[in-house]
Structure 1
Amino acid sequence: MSDSGLITGDDGLARPAWAASDPLLRDYYDTEWGMPVRTEQGMFERLSLEAFQSGLSWATILRKRPAFRAAFADFDPDAVAAFTDVDVERLMADAGIVRNRRKVLATLNNARATVAMRGSGNTEDRDLASFIWSFAPERTPEPESIGEIPTTSAESVALAKALKKRGFAFVGPTTMFALMEAVGIVDTHLVGSWRRGSSGVW
């Protein structure tokens, strides 16, 4: 491993240590992490999974992702917004997902907030994806080592505040920065990683 934290794989490509060994994480890093997500449903899924990840490893969430999609109607905001107390109990009995009642309730709450945002008539809101993308910074970080990767930004703080104002839960500044990394709003791929600059945004 280099001083930067990059590991060159057997394919000759440099990746951060977290994405270098586990095949699931490696595939996620190579094909999905940091690539632009611009659909409402796609953004709602990422927002939901980031909330469930709080306090857990991303690998845990990624392994449970198919079960999450099945349990939450493929993260269709309209469908999840219509979930009832019966669905909450169904979810709490589903061993395939993270059975945390606060996070389950937050997901239902956030689905309703997503639908409300869409129909608010406020030109600032539009849909969830457009709203979150509106907090993109003018510049992206250029970390050369793991230690240089930020965990929050002025934009993630502002986004968290704006989402909370619109009724969203589990949307703190650190979680929102992780979301911004995951969906391509910022590029925190290490300088030297084969994925650096691959999103087409930066």
Structure 2
Amino acid sequence: MTPFRDLWEMARARKGGHAAVETELPHPAPIEALHKISDSQWLSDIGKQVFSAGFNWKVVEDKWPAFEAAFDGFDPWKIRMLSDDALDDLAANRDLIRNRMRMEAIRENAAFLCALSEERRKPAGHVFVDWPKTDYVGLLELLKTRGARLGGLTGMYLLRWRGVDGFVLSPDVTAALQREGVIDGPATSKKAMRAIQTAFDIWHAESGRPMMQISKVLALTVGPTAEA
């Protein structure tokens, strides 16, 4: 693998200077601020990401206040108890995006948050925030296997949206990881994800930078859009 300092130089050369690279780097939210996010807010964020996947995000953003009202603030302990008839009514609401399967995913994810909170004896959001960074792929696996429609980029964007440190395997980042020999194809297997975790751990040890910044630097070495 290319050392991080050389990846940085590649990004600097493409962007036109160190300052230009620095201005593009995201920053993790403070742990104290992340701990203040309620599980209701997490469920709202989850719902928004689920509805945004493969859909026009601007439409979702514009309609989300109506979702907040229709789902009564997204209290997961209430939402997990919604009946099928109640979901049918929500799916027929013209103020919302009428997708019954994604409505059901919100109920399933409410049950997931409640179960996680009960198991760990703390808010589910704290579980996400406190998860060891050296096992970020384990957190992504948790979202994928126990959440509804939270695999792949959806789970990654959910965590990035809230400022939880981690990488996003955008096309640019994936291409950079393939170039570096970390993976030799799509990042779909557990073996590939563990190899990616190891690579990020090494680059973090070299640079001291959070994973989200390493992810962005990788993207800046590849594509004109630099998605990360």
TM-score over 0.5 for the pair: yes
1:62-117 deviation line (CA, Å, top 9, x unaligned):
10111110111111111211211121111111122221121111110111121122
Deviation at 1:160, TM superposition (A): 2.9
2:78 equivalent to 1:60: no
Q: Give, in angstroms, the shift of residue 177 of structure 1.
A: 1.2
User: Which shifted more, 64-73 or 92-101?
Assistant: 92-101
Query: How much has 1:136 moved relative to structure 2?
Result: 6.3
Equivalent residue of 1:60, what SS?
helix
Q: Is the 8 A contact 1:39 1:129 kept in 2?
A: yes
SS of alignment partner, residue 95 of structure 2: coil
Contact 2:43 2:76 in 1 (8 A): yes
CA deviation digits over 1:36-75, x for unaligned, max 9? 5432111111111111111112212110111110111111
- Report the AA paired with residue 116 of structure 1: A
Among all aligned residue pairs of Structure 1 and Structure 2, give the percentage whose two residues are the same amino acid.
23
* Number of the residue aligned with 1:46: 45
Q: Assess, with a 3 A threshold, how the Cα gap between structure 1 residues 164 and 181 changes in structure 2: closer, same or farther.
A: closer
Match of 2:158 in 1: 179
1:162 matched to 2:142: yes
- Could you say if the C-alpha distance between residues 179 and 52 of structure 1 is closer, same or farther in structure 2, counting changes exceeding 3 Å? same
CA contact (8 A) 1:135 1:159 kept: yes
SS in 2 for 1:119: helix
SS for the counterpart of 1:69 is helix
The aligned amino acid for 1:39 is S
Contact 1:50 1:175 in 2 (8 A): yes
Superposed CA RMSD:
2.9
| Separation of aligned partners in 1, 2:158 and 2:93 | 25
1:164–1:176 Cα change, 3 Å: closer
Q: How many residues align?
A: 144
| SS across alignment from 2:96 | coil
Q: Which has the larger radius of gyration?
A: 2
Q: TM-score, normalised by structure 2?
A: 0.54
1:114 aligns with 2:113: yes
Which structure features the higher share of helix residues? 2
Residue 103 (structure 1) aligns with: 102
